[in-house]
Structures are given as structure tokens and as C-alpha cells.
Amino acid sequence: MPRKILLEKYIHPDIQSVVANNNLDIVVEVQEAIANNKVVVVGMAQNPEPKKAIKMLKKLDIDHKYLEYGNYFNTWYRRNALKMWTGWPTFPMIFINQILVGGTKDLQRLIEADAISELL
């Protein structure tokens, strides 16, 4: 099922660049990390879920890159750019071979189903 995205033709021309460039640097940084690493975990401080995901990866001796953006008290507006880009509503965002696989629970399901090695 395709994700619903507001088409550019429905965004007034005067604000299209604002929409396209909103916190673009954080999106580009994550895109570059995804392009250069088999596994990327994007998280935030004070959130226990990214730590759980990293612990699972370490237990399986899976190399990964971790990117952390702020915490519950700051940087939420910058993290929103990642949520809008991916459509994923929570952190962590876990990417395996450039594919968003979800969050910690989704990673756990892949591990339990012995499906993670297929993605790697």
C-alpha cells in the first residue's frame, strides 16, 4: 500500500522550497549513513528503545552505525523531518541494507524469525 504524501501540485509554489528543504541536513546525514553502512539505527537520548536495539545487534555481533538526535526535551522539530521523510512515527528507525525495517520490536521479530541474516 503506497504511503499517502501530499503531492507537490497541491503545495503552493511560494512554499515548495520551504517544504523540500525543511531540516534537509538531518535527512541527508541519515541518507549518507544508510548508503555507507549495512545497518543504521537512528535514535534519540533518553529513549530506551534505541539502546535495546543496539544491544540486540551487539549480541549478534552485527556492525552498525548509530545516529542520535536530541532527546525528549529538544530537537523534536528536527527529528520531525526524519519522520516525514520515512513515514515511521517513532524512534528508533532501523535500516538494514537501505531498507527501513521499523523499530526495536520489528528488529526483535526479524531476529526471532531468523530473517535478519537474509536482509544482511
**Based on the structure, what is the number of domains in the chain?**
1
Distance of CA 101 to the CA centre of its chain: 9
The CATH number linked to 100 is 3.40.30.10
Quick check: is 18 in a domain? Answer: yes
Quick check: is 26 in a domain? Answer: yes
Quick check: is 45 in a domain? Answer: yes
Q: What is the pTM of this model?
A: 0.93
Give the pLDDT confidence of 75-84 residue by residue, as tens digits: 999 999 999 9
For residue 70, the enclosing domain spans 11-119
Give the pLDDT confidence of 35-92 residue by residue, as tens digits: 999 999 999 999 999 999 999 999 999 999 999 999 999 999 999 999 999 999 999 9
39-43: strand order across its sheet: 65-68, 39-43, 93-96, 99-102
